[in-house]
Amino acid sequence: MSLSTGIYNTLFKRNSVFVGTIFAGAFLFGVGFDTATTTFWERWNKGKLWKDIRHKYVTDAEE
Amino acid sequence: MATFATKRATTLAPTVRTLASGAPIAPRLNLAARGQASEHDHDHGHSESSRSDIRPRWAGGVTFSAAGLVSKTVTTVHSPAFQPRLIHTSVANKDAPQVPDYSKYRTDPGSNRALSYFMVGSLGVLSASAAKSSISEFLQTMAASADVLALAKVEVDLSTIPEGKNVIIKWRGKPVFIRHRTQSEVDEARAVDWKSLRDPQSDEDRVQKPEWLVMLGVCTHLGCVPIGEAGDFGGWFCPCHGSHYDISGRARKGPAPLNLEVPAYEFTDGDGKVIIG
């Protein structure tokens, strides 16, 4: 009860704070979602990506 | 003709309501009142003939004595004309016996409030994130693709350019002059009082490294390509209309209004290469 009341008084009571919290949360959620999906995709395709097979085709002597 | 005597037209005041028959409504007129108790009645108001809306003599009143007028009031006696005036014609019945008490079934309005707002805010977060992602992805479709960006850059190996020589390369369809300046040319370019020039610009602002001068080889007058190592100032000379540029590419003489333009470039690989674009 006290926790929910504290959250309500902090974030939800004023609409400006509420909307600001939503926008900030959307930004953080977008960054986190991108990071999570990219990490999952790279783990799923591990061994097929260019950064994994680059050493087979490019040697530093050629540069 | 007796009906003419009974039917008489009268003008009623506008506040008087009338019945449907046309008779005026007089609700406070006590039609059942009897005559006022007179002095000649010896029953002092106890008889049936006394009016109910006038208090009897024994309850007080004004009497005329030898001392003068005396008013006597017996306060414990209600006036027969007493009528309680209530503001409300019906009293609010707060504890209606026929309605059950649901108070113990009702939830606390403060307990679910934070959760409700949290759900609303979560939907807002998801919606705002989706909207931002849609807009940014749509705007990225307007950006140049990777192959176009790759073509928009030119990489030049500077180690092949000897000191005191010009190189002209093509970049985005336009010539770019790269001059490996000698130290004396650098000193010459920096010795000029550049504030008095037509387009005041110091040599330090035009080069990233003093020995490498990179600039667009398009005359700022009408777009001809100037000739290197020519002109009165040891720099470039435009043969079309006779504009002279000095060793820093600044317009010194002729119709050219501005200095030769410096593109965006950067040195890489330990100064061994320059990437223009």
Question: Could you read off the pLDDT tens digit of each residue along chain B, which spans 277 residues?
Answer: 444 556 667 776 777 777 777 777 777 766 666 656 555 555 554 555 556 666 677 777 777 788 788 877 766 655 566 666 666 666 565 666 677 778 788 777 666 788 889 999 999 999 999 999 999 999 999 888 888 887 788 888 887 888 878 888 888 888 888 888 888 888 887 887 878 888 888 888 888 888 888 888 888 888 888 887 777 787 888 888 888 888 888 888 888 888 888 888 888 866 678 888 7
What are the structural domain ranges in chain B?
154-276
Evaluate whether residue A3 is within a structural domain: no
For residue A35, the model assigns a pLDDT of: 96
User: Nearest residue of B to residue A30 by CA position?
Assistant: B129
Secondary structure element (H or E) that encloses residue A60, with its range:
none
Active site residue B40: no
**CA B46 to each of CA A9, B52, B54, B82, B203: distance values in angstroms, whole numbers, following the listed order:** 75, 10, 12, 18, 129
* CATH fold for the domain made of B154-276: Rieske Iron-sulfur Protein (2.102.10)
Evaluate whether residue A15 is within a structural domain: no
Give pLDDT tens digits for A9-58.
888 889 999 999 999 999 999 999 999 999 999 999 998 998 888 888 87
For residue B82, the model assigns a pLDDT of: 62
For residue B1, the model assigns a pLDDT of: 44
Name chain B contacts of A23, Cβ cutoff 8 Å.
128
Which of B114, B121, B129 lies at the smallest CB-CB distance from A4? B114
Q: Do A12 and B125 touch (CB under 8 A)?
A: no
Evaluate whether residue A30 is within a structural domain: yes
For residue B78, the model assigns a pLDDT of: 55
Burial category of A8 from C-beta neighbours within 10 Å (exposed 0-12, middle 13-18, buried 19 and up): middle
What lies within 8 Å, CB to CB, of A19 at 6+ separation is: B124
The residue type of B194 is W
Which of B111, B125, B126 lies at the smallest CB-CB distance from A4? B111
Identify the bridge partners of residue B73 per DSSP, sorted by sequence position: B60
Q: Do A11 and B117 touch (CB under 8 A)?
A: yes
User: Nearest residue of A to residue B127 by CA position?
Assistant: A26
Number of folded domains that form chain A: 1
Evaluate whether residue A9 is within a structural domain: no
- Tell me which residue range forms the domain holding A45: 25-63
Is residue B113 less than 8 Å (CB to CB) from chain A?
yes
For residue B135, the model assigns a pLDDT of: 95
Burial category of B246 from C-beta neighbours within 10 Å (exposed 0-12, middle 13-18, buried 19 and up): buried
Evaluate whether residue A5 is within a structural domain: no
SS3 B39: coil
Q: Do B125 and A22 touch (CB under 8 A)?
A: yes
- Most A CBs within 10 A among B123, B125, B134, B140, hence the mutation to make, goes to B125
Alpha-carbon distance of B164 to B182, in angstroms, equals 6
For residue B2, the model assigns a pLDDT of: 46
Evaluate whether residue A61 is within a structural domain: yes
